Amino acid sequence: MNANERRHSGPAVLNRVLGYMLHYYKYLFVAVIGCILVSAVCTVVGATFPQTLIDDYIEPMLSSGSRDFSGLANDIKRLACIMGAGVIASFGYNRIMVNVSQGTLRHLRDDLFHKMESLPIKYFDTHAHGDIMSVYTNDVDTLRQLLSQSIPQLINSGFTMVATLITMIIMSPALTVVSVLAAVAMFTVTKNFSRLSGKYFVKQQRDLGEVDGFIEEMLDGQKVVKVFCHEEAAKADFHKVNEALRQSANMANRYSNLLMPINMNIGWLSYTLVAIVGAILAINDNMAGVTLGTVITFVGLHKSFTNPIAQVSMQINFVVTAAAGAQRVFDLMDQTPETDEGYVELVDAKEDAEGQMHEASERTNVWAWKHPHKADGTVTYTKLQGSVVFEDVDFGYDEGKLVLHDISLWAKPGQKIAFVGA
């Protein structure tokens, strides 16, 4: 893979989106990560409470006949405080990400527009206007879901998995092996299906832009279509681009929609396996230090460990679509701006008593061409007359494909001349 391909690959594009967001909202995003970390820790702590409940309270009470619930009440209060903190943290980072995502998209649209204003006319002549509009609407909108939900979900899933894995290792290394094997299987499935669907999501965004461009072109030229009885040909052309969009969207969603059910089934299968292995260890006189409370708590932790993978797989559609949309956005932003090498400019002017033109600092409604001569450093002013002369002019939108060749014409003041393409 060469440097240009790496720059336009999915991970590189997503890293660029993240860097773009951090450029404007670095400190808010740090706050988001802090809230996500608090939420993940609170979730894991809550998942370990069944072990405390069973091993420290239920079993001792059943064996001793005690009715003292004071210790349990205190633990429940602490758990309620922890879970409350988790809820507040979760609410906080979701609210912050709404502002971050919408603000980032606003900056992105502003930068897109400023970049577009600097592009040469050639770009607009070689790209359908509807396709360019699709970048502002469809492609930018794909980043909304990525920034507001997918990125926080991915970070939350990562923190939750790490915290849960550490807790599971402490509780039972033997049962942890089963959970890790299930996670590896789910990661493998997610990676392969994402690779298959990714190229089709890229094509889907490209085809969507072509459909928008075709519709915009037909709407602008509707009168021409009617005059030349081009309706049936336009319908046939639209059917082609519409069918291409259907096929790419079908293939993209075919693979991505299979991902979630497969991962869920792997998760439930491993959940059952963990319960069986844990029960065997607990029945055999607490083999490997596994108690009834450990088994009940561990199956809950196992779900906390594998659920993030399933949740990530649900976000794959949005992530891959966003990568495809972001690639089109940055393709436009990376276009080479028009280079202005001209040095003759039109200025306000006034005529002195000797009939010579000079630049005026105020509005005079008299215009002159200001021509600095680089050879001797002098400046001359030529009054604007409206006379245009073309001598031996070649013109083309693309290099090597001339539209006009060796054209000469003269337009007198007040005269209108138009080129009509066929």
- Lowest-pLDDT range of 78-92, 267-281, 291-305: 291-305
pLDDT of residue 291: 74
Mean pLDDT of 197-203: 78
Is the pLDDT reported for residue 116 higher than 80? Answer: yes
From 333, 361, 391, give the residue that closes a domain: 333
pLDDT of residue 2: 47
Is the pLDDT reported for residue 1 higher than 60? Answer: no
Task: Say if residue 394 is in the same domain as residue 271.
Answer: no
First to last CA, the chain: 43
Mean pLDDT of 257-284: 82
Task: Say if residue 117 is in the same domain as residue 144.
Answer: yes
190 in a domain, yes or no? Answer: yes
Task: Say if residue 70 is in the same domain as residue 157.
Answer: yes
Task: Say if residue 241 is in the same domain as residue 371.
Answer: no
416 in a domain, yes or no? Answer: no
Task: Say if residue 396 is in the same domain as residue 315.
Answer: no
422 in a domain, yes or no? Answer: no
The mean pLDDT of the chain is 82
User: Does residue 321 contact residue 82 with C-beta atoms inside 8 Å?
Assistant: no
Mean pLDDT of 347-353: 85
Task: Say if residue 281 is in the same domain as residue 386.
Answer: no
Task: Say if residue 239 is in the same domain as residue 201.
Answer: yes
Is the pLDDT reported for residue 181 higher than 60? Answer: yes
pLDDT of residue 91: 92
419 in a domain, yes or no? Answer: no
Under the banding of pLDDT at 50, 70 and 90, the label for residue 114 is: very high
Task: Say if residue 7 is in the same domain as residue 155.
Answer: yes
Under the banding of pLDDT at 50, 70 and 90, the label for residue 3 is: very low
Is the pLDDT reported for residue 290 higher than 80? Answer: no
pLDDT of residue 262: 83
285 in a domain, yes or no? Answer: yes
From 273, 305, 333, give the residue that closes a domain: 333
Per mean pLDDT, which of 212-216, 222-226, 313-317, 351-355 is the most reliable? 212-216
Percent of the chain with pLDDT over 90: 11
Task: Say if residue 349 is in the same domain as residue 328.
Answer: no
340 in a domain, yes or no? Answer: no
CA distances from 280 to 28, 180, 285, 289, 351 (A): 48, 19, 9, 12, 104
Please indicate whether residue 51 or residue 131 has the higher confidence score (pLDDT).
131
Task: Say if residue 317 is in the same domain as residue 365.
Answer: no
pLDDT of residue 421: 61
User: Does residue 108 contact residue 329 with C-beta atoms inside 8 Å?
Assistant: yes
Burial 274-285 (b: 16+ CB within 10 A, else e): bbebbeebbeee
- Per the structure, the count of domains in the chain is 2
Mean pLDDT of 90-106: 91
Task: Say if residue 89 is in the same domain as residue 174.
Answer: yes
User: Does residue 336 contact residue 118 with C-beta atoms inside 8 Å?
Assistant: no
pLDDT of residue 25: 92
Question: Which is nearest to 154 in space by CA: 268, 9, 319?
Answer: 319
417 in a domain, yes or no? Answer: no
Q: What's the domain range around 141?
A: 3-333
Under the banding of pLDDT at 50, 70 and 90, the label for residue 50 is: confident
CA angle 159, 161, 164 (to 5 degrees): 105
392 in a domain, yes or no? Answer: yes
pLDDT of residue 285: 62
From 265, 300, 333, give the residue that closes a domain: 333
Mean pLDDT of 31-58: 82
Is the pLDDT reported for residue 88 higher than 90? Answer: yes
Task: Say if residue 314 is in the same domain as residue 350.
Answer: no
